[in-house]
Amino acid sequence: MTVDISSPITLPCGVAVKNRIAKAPMTEGLADSMNRATERHVTLYRKWAEGGAGILITGNVQVDRRYLERPGNVVIDQNGGLDELRAFAASGIVNDTLLFMQIGHAGRQTPRRVNPRPVAPSEIPLALPESAFGAPQALTSDEVDDVIRRFIHVAKVAKETGFSGVQVHGAHGYLISEFLSPLANQRDDKWGGSLENRARLLRSVVQGIRAAVGPEYPISVKLNSSDFQKGGFSHEECLQVVRWLEEDTVDLLEISGGNYENPAMMIGGRGADEIRGSTIAREAYFMGYAKNIRAATKVPLMVTGGFRTRAAMDAALAEGDVDIIGIARPMCVDTDAPNQLLASPEAITIAYEQQIKPSKGALGWFCLNIIRIAEGKEPDRNMTGEDAIAAYLVNEEKTAAALEGRLTN
């Protein structure tokens, strides 16, 4: 039987997904000054759940309030907020939707406004303006063990508060991804050196979560197909890590790529140029890599980035190299994009980034429209890139100011 986006799928743990569309994880920035979930999460995720996707994956829920991806992240770190998490979870599972909590640690990609001295595998700073990110300090072995405990704790809280599953963020240059990278990880202990050692943090987290949540609770991992950096985490290394994750009973792998230094996850990336010619008809950035990953594992695969037409989504699913299609930016405006796609074989999601001028305002444009939806407002399709840049910076400064003084309490 031909598979298309309307087809259900059962994950290895036995949990059924109603269709093959997932709302991919996107940062929200909606937490309160104690980094707890708010009514805005409830409003936003109810809208997305009503929109028809089989799975919603949250933005980064951080395991340590000292190291955030942005000031407005939700954190589970002895800061209370369990009732708020329950309300968040309840809103995201309406309409027979599964809601996965993405769990992460920003590592050296913690903005300086959050922490001027972040942590990393090694004391190697990002190759980016120092004004944005401070020089990191290397985690001790005991501190790495603490990171593992924090991931496991957050996964347990996710299950206890009603989330349908979890996703471990092992991509995009955050802490677990840093450990995988030979460029960022130059340790000489059991956490560095060989690929087996560099993957130890990720595998320890996954194995620990599985032991804590049991065999029937979905665990996903977001993994780079490559860092797209010379000397970084390579595609060949990715294939081996995928094999290990299958042994560790992962239920879903989301394939992405890049980091802050080369943001392939946002635009396809320079490193993706080599595959663009063969994948342009299917639109997605990482489908060429997914084909190789499919040969290495039977774990269901999710690919996010670039998909805009139902025809391309159905073609990719029919070929068998991907099992779930991730949609991100279109749902920052059209929360019912999955329902639109499911309603018609000719459906197209709108690539709003093409209308944003200047294009450097795109990140703020999408983030601000997420906030508008969370506040019960209509998205602003006419916002310019210049307006988005200014308003986004104001919002981030206000959020950071509310957070100030609470990071180490």
- The tens place of each residue's pLDDT in the chain, 409 residues long, gives 789 999 999 999 999 999 999 999 999 999 999 999 999 999 999 999 999 999 999 999 999 999 999 999 999 999 999 999 999 999 999 999 999 999 999 999 999 989 999 999 999 999 876 678 999 999 999 999 999 999 999 999 999 999 999 999 999 899 999 999 999 999 999 999 999 999 999 999 999 999 999 999 999 999 988 766 677 799 999 999 999 999 999 999 999 876 665 554 444 443 444 444 444 344 566 777 888 999 999 999 999 878 889 999 999 999 999 999 999 999 999 999 999 999 999 999 887 888 899 988 998 999 999 999 999 999 999 999 999 999 998 998 888 888 775 544 4
379 found inside a domain: no
Cα–Cα separations (whole angstroms), residue 230 to 43, 126, 226: 43, 15, 10
Give 188: exposed, middle or buried? Use CB within 10 Å, 0-12, 13-18, 19+.
exposed
> Cα separation of 32 and 236, whole Å?
41
Say how many domains are in the chain.
1
Judge whether 4 lies within some domain. Answer: no
Give the Cα separation of 255 and 35 in Å (integer): 28
Give pLDDT, residue 263.
54
Q: In this structure, what token pair is assigned to residue 326?
A: 């991730």
Residues 339 and 325: their CA atoms lie apart, in Å, by: 14
Q: How far is CA 296 from CA 169, 242, 245, 285, 353, in A?
A: 20, 7, 11, 19, 34
The whole-number pLDDT of residue 275 equals 41
Please report the pLDDT score of residue 257 as a whole number: 72
User: pTM higher than 0.85 for the full model?
Assistant: yes
Query: What residues are paired with 137 via a beta bridge?
Result: 119
Query: Is residue 387 domain-resident?
Result: no
In a domain, 2, yes or no: no
Q: Looking at residue 343, which CATH number applies to its domain?
A: 3.20.20.70
CB 229, CB 261: distance < 8 Å: yes
User: Domain for residue 234, yes or no?
Assistant: yes
Whether 381 is in a domain gets the answer: no
Q: What are the backbone angles phi and psi of residue 350, rounded to the nearest 5°?
A: -85, 130
The pLDDT assigned to 402 comes to 80
Report yes or no on 400 lying in a domain: no
Cα 199 from chain centroid (whole Å): 18
pLDDT at 223: 94
Residue 250 domain-assigned? yes
Q: How far apart are CA 36 and CA 25, in angstroms?
A: 18
Residue 330 CB-half CA count within 13 A = 24
For 362-391, b where at least 16 C-beta lie within 10 A, e where not — what string?
A: bbbbbbbbbbbbbeeeebeeebebeebbeb
Residue 285 pLDDT: 66
Q: Provide the pLDDT for residue 278.
A: 44
Range of the domain at 329: 9-353
Instruction: Find the helix or strand (DSSP H, E) in which 85 lies.
Output: helix 82-92
- The alpha helices in 217-309, defined as continuous H runs, are 235-247, 264-267, 273-279, 287-296
- Token duo for residue 207: 């194995």
Structure tokens at 269: 């990336």
